[in-house]
Structure 1
Amino acid sequence: MALVAWLKAGETLGDRVMKVDHAGEQGAICVYRAQRWWARWRAPEMVAELDEFLAHERGHRSRFGAELLRRNRRRCRSYYFCAVGGFTLGTLTGIAGRHAIAATTVAIERIVLRHMHAQLQALDSIDQPAADTLRTIIAEEQEHHDRSAARIGAHGLWPTLIDPVVAFSTETVIWLGMRL
């Protein structure tokens, strides 16, 4: 299994997944914080929604962090990389406005949800605490995706421009996190 190939000595698959997902939530927090700041001018009608998404992501990071603490594991080496990348992405898309903000969320969550479902399938029979942590988070991530997708529709300039770049970036960060 590809998820298992990059484990460090003494580390379980659940440990690695919790680390990578914890770092990803830090990236998501930074995306939403930057977008929220710019949305005050570029998309004021989205500020409340971004606040809600930001609160969810903080809760997700906290859940993954608690699971890492329970396992006596340090955070992923990609944690700060995710933060810087998230802030940069959030700033650029926040400046671009409402459709770019929504398109970014759709692209990120599509990739994240695919990975979380694969992680859940891999962990369900071998690491119940990790699987349970994922289960508590997936529904909110799906909500972010669906609400943002409804905001932009299926077609348009921003999804066409943003989706491949953000999807590639998100995949790359996850790939790096699994190997660092």
Structure 2
Amino acid sequence: MRENSSLGSRILKVNHAGEQGAICIYAGQIIAARLTARGMVAELREFQSHEKRHRAIFWSELQRRGQPRCRSYWLCALGGFVLGLSTGLFGRKAIAATTVAVERVVLRHLEHQLEQLRDKDDAAVVAISLIMEDERLHHDHSASHLQGGEFWSRLLSPVVEASTETVIWIGMRA
């Protein structure tokens, strides 16, 4: 049980840092979208509010466990802001492609985490399960903006997915 709760705590730390990164992606995109995709600002703010709630869920569970935040927390914040601002400058389809790419990786990791922790760390499973629907909504809604927008998906997806995977990998080892 100790080993599994340790794994659960590590996963929760990384997820908490990832939510901070997502909040900062949306912060950067909101700034840029004011110039390039005004019609998306309200949607981006709504998605950011979901990510803030997710971060609070993970932080609450980490505090209950007496765990500090992940060492990669501020790396996620800075990287997320730079990613959000830079992709946001290219407009609606680039913003949507970024969200789809990030959420594709996040959903894959969350599903894997649930498999790893099921019947081993119930509190971590509950925390992760609480955010899945929102993350799927972000992915699916953003994907709906991409019809006819294959250029940004082809260009950004590999870079954004690899960056997201790298940040998760670093976080699990920090």
TM class by shorter-chain length? Answer: over 0.9
Gaps of 5+ in 2: none
Give the residue type in structure 2 aligned to 1:136.
L
* Distance in structure 1 (CA, Å) of the matches to 2:35 and 2:65: 43
* Distance in structure 2 (CA, Å) of the matches to 1:114 and 1:95: 27
Which position in structure 2 is the counterpart of 1:136? 130
Identify which of 91, 106, 109 aligns with 1:112: 106
Which position in structure 1 is the counterpart of 2:96? 102
* Distance in structure 1 (CA, Å) of the matches to 2:4 and 2:86: 40
1:150 aligns with 2:144: yes
Gaps of 5+ in 1: 1-8
Residue 62 of structure 1: how far off its partner (Å): 0.4
* Distance in structure 2 (CA, Å) of the matches to 1:33 and 1:132: 27
Tell me which stretches of 4 or more aligned residues in structure 1 moved more than 4 Å. Answer: none
Residue 156 of structure 1: how far off its partner (Å): 1.4
Name the structure where helix makes up a greater proportion of residues: 2
Change in 2 beyond 3 A, CA 1:70/1:110: same
Change in 2 beyond 3 A, CA 1:111/1:10: closer
Give the residue type in structure 2 aligned to 1:169.
S
TM-score by length of 1: 0.93
Give the residue type in structure 1 aligned to 2:135.
E
| Identity fraction in percent | 53
Residue 153 of structure 1: how far off its partner (Å): 2.5
* Distance in structure 2 (CA, Å) of the matches to 1:11 and 1:144: 29
Alignment of structure 1 residues 29-178 onto 2, 5 Å: 29-153=23-147, 156-178=150-172
* Distance in structure 2 (CA, Å) of the matches to 1:94 and 1:145: 16
What is the aligned length? Answer: 172
Please list the CA deviations of residues 59-115 of structure 1 after superposition, one character each: whole Å capped at 9, or x if unmatched: 000000000000000000000000010000001011111100000000000000000
* Distance in structure 1 (CA, Å) of the matches to 2:82 and 2:114: 29
Change in 2 beyond 3 A, CA 1:13/1:37: same
Change in 2 beyond 3 A, CA 1:123/1:154: farther
TM-score by length of 2: 0.96
* Distance in structure 2 (CA, Å) of the matches to 1:129 and 1:45: 38
